[in-house]
Structure 1
Amino acid sequence: PFPDITEIPGPSCYCGRRGCLETWVSGRALQAGYAQHSQQELKAEEIIAKMRSGDRLARLVWDRYIDRVARGLSLVVNTLDPDVFVMGGGMSNVAELYDELPTQLARYTFSRVFETPIRKARHGDSSGVRGAAWLWKG
């Protein structure tokens, strides 16, 4: 399910490759998607606010974003069957992510029912650093 044929080869990534998942499912990716269709550069927070106020383009860009997140995570579900997803980064602060993502994920997983919990990282944007420190400390 990822990438879609229309997404190949994908945008350049900071790592030097093209089409990495990060280039499709980050706040910057949401901003780029909106700018591509509107020629207007807005921050992710502004796009989310427009979506919440009923802006059609912002809603379409958000739907495309959620679809990409779902397709990316479905690869993990279908191969590893995790007990939980813990979402981090700036986009993890968008409440709609937790409402809409499970339904979208069910479209791409082997089972028609998606029951894996999707949680927001407890320590916000510093969760990754805390986890790395915890692992290093051992």
Structure 2
Amino acid sequence: LSEAADGAGAGNRTVFGIIIGTGMGAGIVVDGKVIGGRHSIAGEWGHTPLPWVRMEEFPLPKCFCGNEGCLERYLCGPELAKDWKGVGHHNTAGIEEAAAAGDIAAIGALDRYMDRFSRACALTINFLDPDIIVLGGGVSNLDSIYERVPPLLARHVITPTCTTPIVRNKHGDSSGVRGAAWLWDVAE
């Protein structure tokens, strides 16, 4: 809500905000109102299955929610770190630098990440068609997301041209608490 009200998504009618850190989550704001849905699960993006699964992605990883193949099991920070450095690693710091220096494992992990993230965003664009996608959380600090993902969207978005911007949040780590404050204002 913070980013939709006066942050990176301000001035857009439909804002889809994604938090990518230790876990994942998302939120939908339309005309300044948070969309919760009938069961208050609208935007539960982390537990949406990875779309357009490839053969090499089987078997699908089991998620703590009980389902298999959830986005969180591919796209949160610890999963990217595990893909890069193996089980037991949780930190993605330095992955872009390692890839730029020719680290094959970092290059492969980032390639897979960008492909999967673009598929997840394309699915969201196909069913919600947001005016903008705003990213937050630690993984949103990867510059390569903003360079590499937009050109990949066309493979799965059903419109001939996809111009949905994917942008970094404006308010950083304060965005969540700012959004809570905005909810207080909206409730009054």
TM-score w.r.t. length of structure 2: 0.63
Q: Does 1:43 align with 2:96?
A: no
8 A Cα contact 2:60 2:69, kept in partner: yes
Equivalent in the alignment of 2:158: 110
C-alpha contact (below 8 Å) 1:21/1:72 kept by paired residues: yes
The partner residue of 2:103 within 49, 55, 71 is 55
Partner of residue 28, structure 2: none
Q: Which residue of structure 2 lines up, in the alignment, with residue 30 of structure 1? A: 80
In structure 2, relative to structure 1, the CA distance for the partners of 1:42 and 1:20 (3 Å cut) is closer
Structure with larger Rg: 2
After TM superposition, the structure 1 = structure 2 runs for residues 1-138 of structure 1, keeping only pairs within 5 Å, are 2-6=51-55, 7-8=57-58, 10-36=60-86, 41=89, 43-138=91-186
Deviations 1:18-73 (A, max 9, x none): 3221121111111121234xx78472113222112222221111010011111111
Q: Which moved more, 1:76-85 or 1:2-11?
A: 2-11
Q: Partner amino acid for 1:121? A: N
How has the CA–CA distance of structure 1 residues 21 and 125 changed in structure 2, closer, same or farther, with 3 Å as cutoff?
farther
Could you tell me which runs of 5 or more consecutive residues in structure 2 were left unpaired when the two chains were aligned: 1-49
The alignment-based identity, stated in percent, is 41
Q: What residue ranges of structure 1 are gaps of 5+ in the alignment? A: none
Cα separation, 2, equivalents of 1:130 and 1:111: 34
Which position in structure 1 is the counterpart of 2:5? none
Cα 1:13–1:127 shift into 2, 3 Å: farther
1:76-135 per-residue CA deviation (whole Å, 9 max, x = no partner) reads 101111000001111111111101110111211112422111111111133233223312
- The number of aligned residues is 136
**Aligned partners of 1:51, 1:75: CA distance in 2, in Å?**
27
Q: Aligned equivalents of 1:3 and 1:33: distance in 2? A: 19
Task: Provide TM-score, normalisation by structure 1.
Answer: 0.83
**Preserved contact between residue 77 and residue 90 of structure 2 (Cα < 8 Å):** no
Is the CA contact 2:82–2:88 (under 8 Å) kept in the aligned structure 1? no
- Is residue 34–residue 40 contact of structure 1 (8 Å, CA) maintained in 2? no
